[in-house]
Structure 1
Amino acid sequence: MTYKSPLLQRHGAVEAGGLDAGVAAHYSDPIREQRLLAGVHGAAATAVVDLSHRGVVTVSGPDRLSWLNTLSSQQLTNLAPGVGTELLLLTIQGRIEYDARVLDDGETTWLIVENDEAAPLAAWLTSMKFMLRVEVADVSAGFAVLGSTHEVPEWDALLRWRDPWPEVAVGGYSYAVVPEDGHPGRERSWFEYLVPAAELEATVGERPLAGVWAAEALRIAAWRPRRGAETDEKTIPHELDLLRTAVHLSKGCYKGQETVARVHNLGHPPRRLVFLQLDGSQHTLPAPGSAVSVGGRTVGTVTSVAQHYEMGPIALAVVKRTVDPEAELTVEDDGEQYAAAQEVIVAPDAGQVVGRATGFLRAPR
């Protein structure tokens, strides 16, 4: 069944497409909504975002954290109740299959995922139970997610996941060129609240709503990758700087660990994430999937794009590692061409040995 949020009945709601089908792209004024979500010029952020299309999977039982620890890229055995983290489930080749926001309440581990991840993730986890004391359930129909850049005091009783981005977690590693105190992700706080689906409208109440376009613009500006947008069937974590929040480099064995370790210690990821400032003179935006080229040669793909309330048209793209960081890029979409100034996110020589030699990268904590 195709999901449709009850909040699409709110005045001005225009439904989103793609990954965000089923919730509102905006409520008739996306730039104003973005400002209300971000909080600008000293004003407090007030808007919340309907993310009720997200998938939610629960894992309960006394073995849940140690079990998830053996399966995933993240160290979870000592995860404290209420502390948010992120895990990846990888293929044997180290490619990203699932990317989950993780929160434990002391009895149950909650995994918040993209809409299309919940059912296959629950099925795969169930197949991996063996004799362990765990129970897996896809509870997406019973729970909704609301996003916010601020903590909502009236929602203190709700389970709340705080995005760890862009902090370099214990066991993590930064592949970014910029110093940590200059990372644009530090300008964005992000929280996701779990709400019983039947209480979604009452929980929102009269609070102003911002569409997912507003949330996406702030995510892109923070260089925060998203599964299904920045990823494809070949993506490894290093390409998106996900070693900082989603990978513990010194934990025990898990599927895909060999690739993670080999690329980190001996090689370089074949592609790298970049931030693009797009030429806004055409008053249109290229679509995700548009080709990125240098001198007529395709070198990558636009993965996410948005109109930012301050910076104008911006995007994330994944390009070949060897692309000159100083090169002027061109984005091509259906015959239209957009000049694009690139800002390096993942260093072209990303990898532990080279990174320590150049000083670009930060060692594991």
Structure 2
Amino acid sequence: MNQKSDPFVVMVTIDRETSSVVLTRSDGKAARAPLTDLPFATTSLLDRLHCSPLGGLLAVTRDGDDIAFELPTQDRTEPLDNRLVVYLDQNMWRPVSEALQGGDVVSGEDRVAAEQLADWVRNRLIVMPASAGHYYETTKWSVSDKRYSLGLTILQLSRGWQMRDPLQVREDEILEMFRCWKGEVDSARVPSVFTLAPNALHSPSRGVTAYTPPSDFSADDAFQLVALTSASTYIDVMLDAEHVEPGPETGWAESNQRYSNWLDAQDWDSQQKRRSIDAFLFSDFQRELAEGAHAAGLSLQEVQQWGQKQPAQSFAVQPATGLYREMFHNRHLNMGTKWRRNDLTDMIYLSCAAGYADFVVCERHMREPLGRGIRRLGLPAKVFRRLSEAVLAIGDALEQAGASG
């Protein structure tokens, strides 16, 4: 018999209801084996996991909802294939969820916009990545039915695409900044900010330990198992029946409020205030700067030279970190700014998204400093505060890309 005509496995299914794993072959035949240790916690809302060796994961919830994730391969973890990247702030996912899940509280414009975004995702024209910020904000919501609907929408439209942890992006950009300063590279932009790579939502600096596959697996099989474990875990966590308790207060908002109040009282011009803000900001970056300089191979003398030549200017070459600095400046320079606990999350994730995405949609109080920063740094991202306005611009961009293609 010709080897090419031999049946092969096209689907592996973990079935919670029957406590079994099912192998489906290309000829339609299936084999079922019992599972004594199911990978579902009692609070998990997943019912079945379907994985194709050809690529892709389909999760089915107990309510019968489907979630399809793209899966990476070892040599292709960012297969954007010319798709535009559209990043929605957390508060913009809610009207999209309401519109697609049958809610009645969204406007007609938002409903049309949400349906158009979903259609573009299905037709592989855009990707709408999820971030750790989305997971954090969604899973702590105590209203279970609303939390499920919102999480389901984010999962269904992100399709496994993630924005890499902004803290990791910051570390990578600072390293590239120092390499630029030494003349080793021409740009501080980093690759793979939007990715299918496993475990990209949280950097190692957060203390997250990734799953380790068996040592006797081949490199390809080990990567596929890690990717599948990561994707299924993200889905399971987002939809868990129990909400996650918010973490403790860090004191970040209070510290910035005290500093803003103090800065407002100083009789300084804007440049003097900017230098003071940089000193306040760089105190938060001490570890990243030290580790980046060491990784770039800078000597103590070279670090001193860098510090003497207006290091703040070096941040302008970093898309995400430079934009975060601009937002930080804008908010502290704005007299009477009121700092909220969520401001840190918004600024970190939105600056990372706008540093690398094509389109960002967020609420007004973040859109304005974000837009100013984008203009100052000359970044190409377009930022909107209404879904309908963003969809019009995305449509124009897709039309232009189609015409040029």
TM-score bucket of the superposed structures, by smaller chain: under 0.3
Query: Could you state the TM-score of these two structures normalised by the residue count of structure 1?
Result: 0.28
Q: Which has the higher contact order (CA 8 A, sep 6+)?
A: 1
Query: Could you state the TM-score of these two structures normalised by the residue count of structure 2?
Result: 0.26
Structure ID, larger Rg? 2
> Which protein is richer in helix relative to its size?
2
